[in-house]
Structure 1
Amino acid sequence: MNLLRHRSTVAALAACLLLGGCAAPHVSLAEVREFAGASAKLGGYAELSTRYRDTYLREQPYLTPAADKLAKETDARRRAVHEDFRSVQKSVVLYMQTLALLAGADRFDLTPQLDDLGNGLKANTESGLEQRHVTAWTGLTRLLTRAIASGYQGRSVETMVRDGDADLQALVGAMISLTRLYAKTNENEQKTILGIFDIEIPYANRPNDRMLVTLAKVHYLNKSQEYKLIDKRYALALQGLTKVSLGHQKLRENLHKLSGDEVRRTLQNFGRDLRVIREGLSEN
């Protein structure tokens, strides 16, 4: 009986070698696919980037001529860097889309989306987009070009995560820094606009000003609610980006034990958290 079992084992190993190698048992990339897919669909950042770009359009009606001149100059600088800010996001999203597809069974073609990444970033000290982020964007774009052009799957998940982690972490870090910049800009906008009402309304106490004051108070309340909702979006976006960073770090640290229960549960939790955050972002 032992001899028969030995011969059976040898035969199985021989067949395995002839077929090109044996896969590790129970290895599943489902959690990798779900985490990467949830990361790609997080959302929020693009809308907040656009809001940052359009700050002047909201502030302009409330500005004095002197303040308006300075605000126009700031507006020109924001618009000049907006596409670079979006390109950072596009590269991270495309990376996660590619990783999700590599972890699946289907062939894919994301080649057209490479053209949408832009021609490159420029460092901008005012915004915090540094040369290391430019280098990371270039590195990640090259990795994406190779992965997408080959369409190769299977072990490409390991290659993608191992080779892409450092650049991805740098770019997600850039997105976190930029989101904080957006939040700070929004805080200044709020002080500018609501501050005018805080100063002017108490002095508008003539009987003829009653209707004007009422309308001003309604407008003030509406704007206050708007800023409250936007502040929540900044907080959710930052939470989501942090989850993306930590989840990918977990992947990188456990590339050779993705079938382990602990790793799979952790990735499942990250994917679940990202879906909850995305739902929160779409509610506001």
Structure 2
Amino acid sequence: MNALRTLSTSALLAASLLLGGCASNRVNLEEVREFADASARLGGYAELSTRYRDTYLREQPYLPPAAEQVAKENDARRHAAYNDFATIQKAVVLYMQTLSQLAGAARYDFTPQLDTLGVGMAGMSNTTLGQKQVGAYTGLARLLTRALTSRLQKESVETMVREGDADVRILLEAMASLTDIYAAAHENEKKTVLGFFEVALPLAERPQDRLLHTLARAHVQAKTGEYRLIERRIDLARQGLAKVAQGHQKLRENLDTMSSSEMRHMLSDVVRDLRLIRAGLVTD
């Protein structure tokens, strides 16, 4: 870890000295910076990961005794996988943050994030991820530790995109697949909770149970609204991941024409869509 911190600190120093002499390239990289920044700030996915991890806490009061043991086992598996899921997301965010800063003028201290990546790499011996995802994470982490040592700003961006494309694509695909897992867990939770009330409410229709029945119906309405909101967030997360993947693929395919009007308009369109998706998540 000390070696990683030393490398990252040296990289930051080199980048700080070099970025000052590359102002002429920044106008050509403006759309790249905006795309990377919008991708890093998309949001929503981390919250879905946390919600997936905490499924048992929400559904436990509504579980029949016969389902309790299986639910506890599923809860243990979710917690074991959560750190891996979060690690993937953090790696993609740090990649986009780095790309944004290399394409811009601002300075940013990446040392804490690089340290986190180092910890993540050390913990991969007990991962729940597949070999393909572990390889992509490791490759991206290594790229990020040396990304800021490039001699020219524009070459740094091109190197990041060219060398990181395959790993970023694998990790984005993994995140999309995990979103499907989150959606399935959400659907099961919804069926468990609302199914409980479908059975219980008819049993509380006696006049003396009116207050209980009213409170239960209000609770059902609140949970139904909550589930609709989560379903919308899952849909927006899918859209956002697909849009990030599309933008990065186009960027990789058109590195030689990165400053062309067509390429810049394409990235601007992707940025607009990402901002709309993020606005939808914030509004929710």
Q: TM-score, normalised by structure 1?
A: 0.86
Residues 112-171 of structure 1, C-alpha deviation per residue, up to 9 Å, x if partnerless? 2111233334553xxxx4211111000000000111466862311111100000000000
Q: Deviation at 1:25?
A: 9.4
CA spacing shift, 1:152–1:89, aligned 2, 3 Å: farther
One-letter code of the match for 1:254?
Answer: N
Give RMSD over aligned pairs. Answer: 2.0
Give me the whole-angstrom Cα distance separating, in 1, the residues matched to 2:66 and 2:138. 41
Asked if residue 119 in structure 1 is aligned to residue 123 in structure 2, the reply is: no
Equivalences, count: 258
Q: Deviation at 1:64?
A: 2.1
Asked if residue 248 in structure 1 is aligned to residue 259 in structure 2, the reply is: no
Asked if residue 235 in structure 1 is aligned to residue 235 in structure 2, the reply is: yes
The answer for the alignment partner of 1:60 in structure 2 is: 60
Give me the whole-angstrom Cα distance separating, in 2, the residues matched to 1:24 and 1:109. 23
The answer for the alignment partner of 2:207 in structure 1 is: 207
CA spacing shift, 1:207–1:281, aligned 2, 3 Å: same
Give me the whole-angstrom Cα distance separating, in 2, the residues matched to 1:193 and 1:27. 53
Which segments of structure 1 move beyond 4 Å, counting only runs of 4 or more? 23-27, 149-152
The answer for the alignment partner of 2:218 in structure 1 is: 218
CA spacing shift, 1:26–1:229, aligned 2, 3 Å: closer
Q: Deviation at 1:89?
A: 0.3
Report the secondary structure of 1:155's partner residue: helix
Counterparts of 1:144-223 in structure 2, within 5 Å, are: 144-148=144-148, 153-223=153-223
Q: Is the 8 A contact 2:150 2:156 kept in 1?
A: no
Residues 49-69 of structure 1, C-alpha deviation per residue, up to 9 Å, x if partnerless? 000000000011111222122
Q: TM-score, normalised by structure 2?
A: 0.86
Q: Is the 8 A contact 1:109 1:151 kept in 2?
A: no
The answer for the alignment partner of 2:85 in structure 1 is: 85
Give me the whole-angstrom Cα distance separating, in 2, the residues matched to 1:138 and 1:241. 21
Give me the whole-angstrom Cα distance separating, in 1, the residues matched to 2:195 and 2:134. 38
Report the secondary structure of 1:104's partner residue: coil
Q: Deviation at 1:260?
A: 1.1
Give me the whole-angstrom Cα distance separating, in 2, the residues matched to 1:109 and 1:148. 11
Q: Is the 8 A contact 1:26 1:259 kept in 2?
A: no
CA spacing shift, 1:199–1:264, aligned 2, 3 Å: same
Give me the whole-angstrom Cα distance separating, in 2, the residues matched to 1:205 and 1:159. 68
Give me the whole-angstrom Cα distance separating, in 1, the residues matched to 2:107 and 2:204. 67
One-letter code of the match for 1:29?
Answer: L
Give me the whole-angstrom Cα distance separating, in 1, the residues matched to 2:175 and 2:151. 28
Give me the whole-angstrom Cα distance separating, in 2, the residues matched to 1:136 and 1:241. 17
Q: Deviation at 1:27?
A: 6.5
Give me the whole-angstrom Cα distance separating, in 2, the residues matched to 1:119 and 1:253. 30
Give me the whole-angstrom Cα distance separating, in 1, the residues matched to 2:63 and 2:25. 66
Q: Is the 8 A contact 1:37 1:100 kept in 2?
A: yes
Question: Structure 1 residues 240-249 or 210-219, which shifts more?
Answer: 210-219
Instruction: Give the helix-richer structure, 1 or 2.
Output: 2
CA spacing shift, 1:277–1:137, aligned 2, 3 Å: same
One-letter code of the match for 1:94?
Answer: L
Report the secondary structure of 1:259's partner residue: coil
Give me the whole-angstrom Cα distance separating, in 2, the residues matched to 1:283 and 1:205. 37
Q: Deviation at 1:93?
A: 0.2
Q: Is the 8 A contact 1:38 1:271 kept in 2?
A: yes
Report the secondary structure of 1:199's partner residue: helix
CA spacing shift, 1:64–1:242, aligned 2, 3 Å: same
The answer for the alignment partner of 2:17 in structure 1 is: none
The answer for the alignment partner of 2:16 in structure 1 is: none
Task: Extract unaligned runs of 5+ from structure 2.
Answer: 1-22
CA spacing shift, 1:213–1:142, aligned 2, 3 Å: same
Task: Extract unaligned runs of 5+ from structure 1.
Answer: 1-22
Q: Is the 8 A contact 1:109 1:148 kept in 2?
A: no
